[in-house]
Amino acid sequence: MKYIIKEKGSVYCNGNVWQKLQELLDDLNPTKIFILTDENTSKYCLKHVLQHINFNNPPLQLTVPAGEHYKTIETCLKLWEDLSEKGADRSSLLISLGGGMITDLGGFVASTFKRGISFINIPTSMLAMVDASIGGKNGVDLGVLKNQVGVINNAHSVIIDTHFLKTLPSNELTSGYAEMLKHGLIYSKDYWESLKSFDVENVPATEEAIWKSIQIKNEIVTVDPTEQNERKALNFGHTLGHAIESYCLEHNEKTTLLHGEAIAIGMILTCYISKELLQFPLLDCKEVSSVILKHFPKVEFSNEEINAIIELLKYDKKNKNGNIYFVLLNAFGSIKTNCIVRNELIKEAFDFYKTF
């Protein structure tokens, strides 16, 4: 088993991870255990947990519909009511078993119910394993605006079993790969290079890459848990990526993009902006774009849509005094935060994206 031990938010991965969870549960000895799933993780992942853990009392299952559309305060309300009706108290434990939607939602519900109960994340999607389940950011969307309401509060522990990836649809795997590419871009040229030939069929290499991403994410959130400085790097590609994701969520005629698919576009646009405003080389910018477009769908945006996406940037959580701040790249592994970008340059970046 690979592991990172911390006061809060320890991560355990593969090997005898279920034995570890059993020990943690025996130590915690919660009054009641709730397992939050969506309809897919209830179907594909719950059995695996129940087979591996000896619960003193059967855990109580909470299930919500799958998908970003349900990462809302209305879903939280339903869950708070369920917890209350089923007798949860401050010594109860919530296990979030699912992708990033479930770990974000479950972490927020647990952090706020009776001013906070413990929760454990068991991420089941690639994206949640390498990113969402680690670092304590939890929350919900406000309408289509991403993650506008939430808290930073670490899970008691994060339990990762890559076995779950076997049932994950391939576009969802690729969505997680976007966050791994982001880790390569912001942290390490070597990691980026190794990811270029990424192949999920190669299980040992995939497991190694997942662990590398977990270590990178953990290192960044440990030095800067509340995003004063270093943690902003993890927003690379997300300023525009979130606006694109929100735009597509809002417009039914536009295919809804998965989080990673929107971030993939955001990363291409942001590399172009980095080339224009900093020294990020044109060749690297082209390489990033072609690697990303080998794996992710190309989306057409009209001028009108681009204007609407730029409008949505005003809701970005990094904004201060009405200014929109971007995270840009000087080079692979070297970022600059708090960069102000003209709208004209954003439009040019979309023109560059169109040329691929």
> Where do contacts with ligand NAD occur on this chain (CB under 6 A)?
38, 40-41, 44-45, 66-68, 71, 98-102, 104, 124-125, 127-128, 131-132, 135, 137, 146-147, 164, 167-168, 172, 175, 259
Residue whose CB is less far from ligand NAD, 30 or 237? 237
Nearest distance from C-beta of residue 230 to ligand NAD, angstroms: 14
Q: Contact, 121 vs 138, CB < 8 A?
A: no
Q: Contact, 109 vs 82, CB < 8 A?
A: no
Residue whose CB is less far from ligand NAD, 101 or 186? 101
Residue whose CB is less far from ligand NAD, 68 or 284? 68
Residue whose CB is less far from ligand NAD, 180 or 285? 180
Residue whose CB is less far from ligand NAD, 87 or 143? 143
Closest CA to 8 of 106, 150, 153, 142: 153
Q: Contact, 309 vs 243, CB < 8 A?
A: yes
SS3 88: coil
Nearest distance from C-beta of residue 175 to ligand NAD, angstroms: 5
Nearest distance from C-beta of residue 10 to ligand NAD, angstroms: 17
Nearest distance from C-beta of residue 224 to ligand NAD, angstroms: 13
Nearest distance from C-beta of residue 272 to ligand NAD, angstroms: 23
Query: For helices 170-187 and 259-277, what crossing angle results, to 10°?
Result: 30
Nearest distance from C-beta of residue 154 to ligand NAD, angstroms: 11
Nearest distance from C-beta of residue 79 to ligand NAD, angstroms: 15
Residue whose CB is less far from ligand NAD, 82 or 104? 104
Residue whose CB is less far from ligand NAD, 125 or 280? 125
Q: What are φ and ψ of residue 251, in 5° steps?
A: -110, 105
Residue for token pair 């919500």: 64
Collect contacts of 347-351 with beta carbons under 8 A, ≥24 apart.
Answer: 347/303, 347/306, 347/310, 348/272, 348/276, 349/240, 349/268, 349/269, 349/270, 349/272, 349/273, 350/269, 350/301, 350/306
Nearest distance from C-beta of residue 271 to ligand NAD, angstroms: 19
Residue whose CB is less far from ligand NAD, 104 or 284? 104
Question: 10 Å Cβ neighbour count for 21?
Answer: 20
Nearest distance from C-beta of residue 286 to ligand NAD, angstroms: 26
Residue whose CB is less far from ligand NAD, 131 or 316? 131
Closest CA to 134 of 238, 239, 210: 210
SS3 269: helix
Residue for token pair 């969307």: 141
H-type helices in 55-169, by residue range?
73-85, 100-112, 126-127
- The helix (run of H) or strand (run of E) holding residue 309 is helix 303-312
With a CB cutoff of 8 Å and minimum separation 6, the contacts of 79 are 36, 62, 64, 105, 109
